[in-house]
């Protein structure tokens, strides 16, 4: 008998779960319906960098999840035949303002790279060597290059995953839905009963779970970034991305698209209005490294809402009060890195009884939901 599975939200977790439910062994035993009304969705508004290895964060569970997430990408890209518009392994340049700190970072990278094949090669670069790899820069810093780093466009990424899954067993319904107290999905056409439900509604998950008598400890954070159109020759395609210390990420895409961001605004709540002050700050951060930029080159400003937990850690698991419902969220600013791994685990839990120990990646679900 075919199981009916619902996924609420088509962001990074929901889209990846949908793909794996259409791809992993046993996918022919499930029919999947994904409900998504993507207003404010962090993934849709995001372009980012997949390069977690040199993060300053020391949360061991987060690092295990992020490290595995970065390693999952190459397999996921191959399995789903994703285009370079969605994901491209370009390498990452990580900077430090103090030279001694940069040397410490380089030695840390060497040690990690010896045990982490996904990192690829690690090199210590002078400012001149950074300029050679990123010729768009007029004020290049020195940095550490990690060849395994990649750039990602969230909107292209989830769109291609969902298009792939729709060829198998996925139906996408573009509407906002909710749950009732018995765990049914309330749609515009009426309530629907599903065998399993994945809830991945990000900063809105508190409202999603409220009818079940549950309270979720998450808060919204506003994130804004800008797109610029820059005159770049084709020979500059696939430039590395740069993660400057205490400044906005610089993410060059092919065909002259340059992405700068994103902001981290804890007082922005669910407000999706682009702010001129944020635009100016992002532009100034970019112009520090690329002096010839003009505000006239800004083509777009994207705004999304991230979800953060009190301990800044993602979570996922099965609701103890209603085992047919699985949840995943609290991704914060690392969602493009950690989200696919969570989606994979949630999909696998529906299709297989052989699971890894999730405690390696997340605290018990009761830490965040009461």
- The reply to whether 286 and 255 lie within a common domain is yes
- The reply to whether 320 and 259 lie within a common domain is no
Per-residue pLDDT tens digits for 312-322: 999 999 999 99
How many distinct structural domains can be found in the chain?
Answer: 2
H-type helices in the chain, by residue range?
A: 12-21, 60-80, 99-115, 127-133, 154-166, 205-209, 276-289, 335-351
Domain end (from 285, 306, 327): 306
Looking at the DSSP bridge assignments, the partners of residue 304 are 223
Per-residue pLDDT tens digits for 59-92: 999 999 999 999 999 999 999 999 999 999 999 9
Domain end (from 306, 337, 357): 306
CA distance 110 to 98: 19
SS3 category, 260:
strand
Per-residue pLDDT tens digits for 312-368: 999 999 999 999 999 999 999 999 999 999 999 999 999 987 778 899 999 999 999
Contact 147, 121 (CB under 8 A): yes
pLDDT at 43: 85
- The reply to whether 253 and 228 lie within a common domain is yes
- The reply to whether 232 and 295 lie within a common domain is yes
CA distance 25 to 2: 14
Domain-located, residue 53: no
pLDDT at 42: 79
pLDDT at 39: 78
pLDDT at 188: 95
pLDDT at 247: 93
Domain end (from 279, 306, 333): 306
3-state helix, strand, coil in the chain (%, to 5): 35, 25, 40
For residue 328, give the CATH number of its domain.
3.50.50.60
pLDDT at 58: 83
Strands 87-88 and 47-50: unpaired
Domain-located, residue 68: no
pLDDT at 253: 95
pTM of structure: 0.95
Blockwise average pLDDT, block size 10, the chain, 370 residues:
95 97 96 90 86 92 96 94 95 97 97 96 98 97 98 95 97 96 96 98 95 95 96 92 95 95 90 95 97 97 94 94 96 95 96 86 94
pLDDT at 101: 97
For residue 124, give the CATH number of its domain.
3.30.9.10
Domain that holds residue 26: 3-44+155-218+311-367
- The reply to whether 15 and 112 lie within a common domain is no
Q: Tokens representing 268?
A: 């922005």
- The reply to whether 229 and 283 lie within a common domain is yes
CA distance 255 to 269: 34
């Amino acid at each position: 008998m075919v199981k009916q599975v619902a996924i609420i939200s088509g962001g990074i977790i929901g889209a990846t779960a949908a793909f794996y439910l259409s791809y992993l062994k046993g996918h022919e035993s499930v029919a999947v319906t994904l409900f998504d009304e993507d207003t404010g969705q962090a993934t849709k508004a995001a372009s980012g960098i997949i390069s977690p290895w040199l993060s300053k964060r020391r949360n061991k569970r987060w690092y295990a999840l992020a490290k595995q997430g970065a390693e999952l990408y190459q397999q996921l890209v191959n399995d789903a035949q994703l285009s370079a518009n969605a994901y491209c392994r370009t390498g990452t340049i990580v900077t430090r303002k103090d030279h001694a700190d940069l040397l410490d970072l380089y030695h840390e990278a060497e040690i990690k790279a010896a045990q982490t094949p996904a990192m690829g090669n690690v090199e210590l670069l002078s400012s001149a060597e950074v300029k050679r790899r990123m010729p768009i820069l007029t004020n290049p810093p020195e940095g550490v290059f990690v060849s395994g780093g990649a750039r990602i466009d969230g909107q292209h990424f989830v769109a291609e995953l969902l298009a792939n899954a729709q060829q198998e067993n996925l139906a996408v319904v573009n509407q906002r839905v909710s749950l009732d107290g018995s765990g049914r999905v309330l749609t515009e056409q009426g309530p629907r009963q599903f065998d399993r439900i994945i809830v991945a509604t990000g900063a809105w998950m508190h409202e999603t779970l409220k009818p079940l008598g549950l309270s979720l400890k998450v808060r919204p954070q506003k994130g804004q970034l800008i797109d610029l159109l820059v005159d770049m020759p084709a020979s500059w395609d696939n430039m590395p991305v740069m993660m400057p210390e205490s400044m906005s990420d610089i993410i060059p895409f092919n065909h002259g698209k340059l992405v700068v961001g994103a902001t981290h605004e804890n007082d922005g709540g669910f407000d999706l209005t682009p702010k001129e002050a944020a635009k100016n700050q992002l532009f100034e951060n970019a112009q520090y490294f690329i002096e010839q930029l003009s505000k006239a080159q800004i083509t777009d400003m994207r705004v999304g809402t991230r979800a953060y937990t009190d301990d800044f850690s993602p979570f996922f698991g099965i609701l103890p009060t209603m085992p047919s419902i699985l949840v995943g969220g609290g991704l914060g600013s690392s969602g493009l890195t950690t989200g696919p791994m969570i989606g994979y685990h949630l999909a696998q839990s529906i299709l297989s009884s052989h699971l890894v120990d999730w405690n390696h990646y997340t605290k018990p679900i009761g830490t965040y939901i009461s």
